[in-house]
Amino acid sequence: ITITGQNDAPVASPITKSYNKGQVADTVALLTGATDPDFGETAALVVDSATPVTYTVTTNSPNGTAQASSTTVPTGVSFNAANGTLSIDPTNPVFSTIAAGQNETIVATYKIADGKGGFTTTTATLIVNGAGTNAPIASIRDNGDTCAPPESRSVLVFLLVEQTPHKVPEHT
């Protein structure tokens, strides 16, 4: 009896990470969680350099749309093929226009290869949120003799007023 094994493809789960705009840069190892069912091959896994990484960028805003997939690395992101990492810099000016409650999603699609012909395709999703925009809660316009918040919203405002104490004249 002869039993001949066959090469099994690697197994990988999608990676998802979220950031707030202005947050410090981060590096994501694209092989995180990837395994190979064949004994001893997990250590040999690589991001397949023969197949380019593709990127899709989607902006979640009132008129946001997904861009067509491209092999061009998006601004604010870098790919290191030598060590299979994707880096993102949420302080990059490209993310500065993301408003509170909105986000930009970058999906990198790539192949993981085991060096023996087995591969799997997976994704890394990087989400940059517009949180921390330091936007004013409300602004008040002076409309003559009344002040009204924009769009007729109710706003409770406490004003701190410095008063000069009255001096009582001295009587002699």
Strand order across the 26-29 sheet: 26-29, 85-88, 77-80
pTM of the predicted model as reported, rounded to 2 decimal places: 0.72
Taking CA atoms, 76 is separated from 62, 63, 142, 164, in Å, by: 22, 21, 41, 53
8 Å CB contact between 9 and 114:
yes
Q: Is 160 left (phi over 0), alpha (psi -120 to 50) or beta?
A: beta
d(CA 27, CA 55): 16
What is the three-class DSSP state of 112? strand
pLDDT tens for each residue of the chain, 172 residues long: 888 888 999 999 999 999 999 999 999 999 999 999 988 888 899 999 999 999 999 987 665 667 778 999 999 999 999 999 999 999 999 999 898 989 999 999 999 999 999 999 999 999 999 975 444 444 444 445 444 444 444 444 444 444 444 444 555 5
Q: What is the pLDDT of residues 3-28, one digit of tens each?
A: 888 899 999 999 999 999 999 999 99
Q: Which two tokens stand for residue 93?
A: 């000016």
Name the percent of the chain lying above pLDDT 70.
Answer: 73
